[in-house]
Amino acid sequence: MVKIAPSMLSADFARLQEEIKNIELSGADLLHIDIMDGHFVPNLTFGAPVIKSLRKHTALPFDVHLMVTNPADYVKAFADIGTEYFTFHAEATPHMHRLVQEIKSYGMKAGVSLNPSTPVAMLEDIAADLDMILIMSVNPGFGGQSFIPHAVRKIKKAKALFDYYENSNGVVEVDGGVNLETAPLVREAGADILVAGSAVFGAPDRAEMIRSLRG
C-alpha cells in the first residue's frame, strides 16, 4: 500500500496547528514539509523554528524536503526537532556522500531529490546508501503546478536502481501535481510515497481524498 504525505505548503498558515491535526486525523502517513530559501528556488516558506513549534502537536513522521542552497547547514536543527526523512537536492551540493553520512549519523533517514531535468543516473553511486529518492514531478518552488509526465519513467528508474543495489530500505517518493488523475500513474510506476499538497488540503473531504490517492 502506498503512503500519502500531504504537503504543508497548501495548508492555511494562520491555522497550522489545526491543519496538521486535521491531516493526521484524516489518515495521512507522513507530513511533507517544504523548506525553501528564496535562493535554490524563487520562493520562501518557513524554517526550523516554525517546524519545531509543530512537533508537539502531531505524531506524524516529519518528511522534510529542503529546497535550499546549503542543506548541510540545517542537518542538526532538523535532527534536534525530530525528523524522519531529511531530503536535500542533488543539484544543491557536490558532496552528496558526505551529507548522507552526516544525516544518518544523527539518526535520520537520508533522501535525495531530483529536479525534473536531473537524471536518475546521477544517483548511481549513492543509491546503496539512500533511504529515499524523491522524484520531482514539477519544478520545485510552488504548490499547485501541473504534473510533468516524464516523472513516471524516472520513478521506474529509481525503483530499478534500488533493486539493482539490493537496497531494501530505499523508498521512492513523488512530489508535485499528484491528484486523482495522476496518482494511478505513479502508483503503477512503483512509487512508495505520494506527496499531495493542493489535492489534499483543497479537498472538501480530506480523509476521502487520502483514501482515493492510496487507491
Ligand X SMILES: O=C(CO)[C@H](O)[C@H](O)COP(=O)(O)O
Q: Which of 96, 98, 103, 148 is nearest to 123 (CA)?
A: 96
163 is catalytic: no
Strand residue runs (E) in the chain = 3-6, 31-36, 62-67, 85-89, 109-114, 132-136, 171-175, 193-196
Residue 178's alpha-carbon distances to 99, 102, 212, in angstroms, are: 29, 31, 12
34 is catalytic: yes
CB of 207 to ligand X, least distance (A): 17
Return the residue of 19, 29, 34, 129 that touches Fe ion, per CB under 5 A.
34
The residue assigned the cell 495522476 is: 182
Separation between Cα atoms, residue 201 and residue 215, nearest integer Å: 18
Asked if residue 37 binds Fe ion (CB under 5 A), the reply is no
Report what 144 binds from ligand X, Fe ion, none; CB cut-off 5-8 Å by kind.
ligand X
53 is in an annotated binding site: no
202 is in an annotated binding site: no
Choosing from 29, 63, 131, 175, the catalytic residue is: 175
Choosing from 29, 34, 37, 131, the catalytic residue is: 34
Report what 198 binds from ligand X, Fe ion, none; CB cut-off 5-8 Å by kind.
ligand X
Separation between Cα atoms, residue 35 and residue 30, nearest integer Å: 16
Active centre residues (catalytic): 34, 175
Q: Output the known binding site for a divalent metal cation.
A: 32, 34, 65, 175
- Residues making up the annotated binding site are 7, 32, 34, 65, 141-144, 175-177, 197-198
Q: Under the rule (CB under 5 A), what is the footprint of Fe ion?
A: 34, 65, 175
